[in-house]
Structure 1
Amino acid sequence: MISLCAGDGRDLLHVLAGHPRRHEVRARLVELDSRNTAAASETTRRACLDQVEVVTGDASLIDQYQDLAPADLVLVCGVFGNITDNDIEHTIGACNQLCKTGGTVIWTRHRAAPDRVPMICEWFGAQGFELQWLSEPDVGYGVGVHRFAGTPQRLRNGTRMFEIVGYDLLRQNEAAQSV
């Protein structure tokens, strides 16, 4: 299991801590903020999740996942709302290196205008991913689940998947372009 921009690990760790097969799960959570990784590390320690590695580092660098890819599960939560459209497409394009055949990518993105969720689904489809589930538009946020039906590509070392721009700056740029 791989988690990009994992924060304090709440997308995975609290569920995994109570799961009967938790000791079978090998995972790497990558997060740049050391306060978050300290919290995630403490959660893994308390839950005895010995095969869960928490890394303080740049989650956008594909090299961070070298010995875990391709994985059964890839979490890209909280990323797509903080990067440009080009970087979203580029990151989705790299998911075929991170995810094994039959593996799953779970991703999130806000649904504020302009709603990029339909485009994100198209980009996943173009990379050989099949939509398994998508939250309804009226809930205000997008959660997507895509299964990889293709053949995993070899990790292209040195690849930077995205650069965090930040939600506020993206919204300012979108507002300026619509004027």
Structure 2
Amino acid sequence: MPKDWLEWHDLYNTEPKLQQRLQIVREYISHSLDASPPGIIRVVSVCAGDGRDLLGTLASHPRAKDVHARLVEINPQLVERGRASIESLGLAQQIEFINGDATISSNYVGAVPADIVIVCGIFGNLADEAELNRLLGNLSFLSKQGAFVIWTRGHSNGIPYSETVRRFLRESGFEEVNFKLTATGDMGVGLHRYRGENLPTPKEQQLFVFSGVANKAR
């Protein structure tokens, strides 16, 4: 089992469910870019890891030059990887990688409200449903009206946790655009659209509490 998040991200090289999840996430990012109106597309990625979902999509997407993004990740080694990818893509003038706490709202000021919000690998690392509801409530600060929100949620012990997420999203002003399970059947990936109003200030400074650890991540 991975002892830290750097090792966890290396599992993308060997774990089918993570590879399948990444493929679907990239598909949803590509769809969101295609569906965005002409002009700048603002993207934020929460707990971004090394940014391989967004950056891997932009490597071949025709609208890459329209994207202005902020990725927030607390692990400095993952941020270093991500920044190297941004440089290699020639997108350093429009994509910034913040080495900071993704739970703190001030790390998004100036980059939100966004057209696309990526919250992958987070919902399974929240303590309970109350914390999930708290994060979903604060997405109205990150998202403009009509924003695409891309998320993931793993299943375990036969419990389809993604169904709870889908229900909470419906109750929080999000319209489902697409949802898929990985071929392994234990990882859900959703694409929703925010239909509520953007909040110009967050409901609270800390948007959520990330309580997961790498060797138990779902």
- Residue correspondence of structure 1 range 99-118 to structure 2 within 5 A: 99-113=143-157, 114-118=159-163
- Answer with 41-50 or 156-165: which moved more: 156-165
Provide the TM-score with structure 2 as the length reference: 0.73
Root mean square deviation, CA, Å:
1.9
Confirm or deny that 1:9 pairs with 2:38. no
Cross-structure match for 2:89: 47
Match runs of 1:1-179 below 5 Å = 1-49=43-91, 50-85=93-128, 86-113=130-157, 114-136=159-181, 139-156=185-202, 159-166=205-212
CA apart distance, 1:21? 2.0
Q: Partners in 2 of 1:153 and 1:120 — Cα distance?
A: 21
Question: Percent identity over the alignment?
Answer: 35
Structure 1: segments with no counterpart, 5+ residues = 172-179
CA contact (8 A) 2:140 2:199 kept: yes
> Structure 2 CA distance, aligned partners of 1:9 and 1:156?
24
Give, as a single letter, the amino acid of the residue that structure 2 aligns with 1:164. F
Secondary structure of 1:38's counterpart equals helix
Contact 1:106 1:145 in 2 (8 A): yes
Q: Which amino acid aligns with 2:179?
A: L
Structure 1 segments, 4+ long, off by >4 Å, are 167-171
SS of the equivalent of 1:100 reads strand
> What is the TM-score when the length of structure 1 is the normalising length?
0.88
Which consecutive residues of structure 2, in runs of 5 or more, have no partner in the other structure? 1-42
Aligned pair count?
Answer: 171
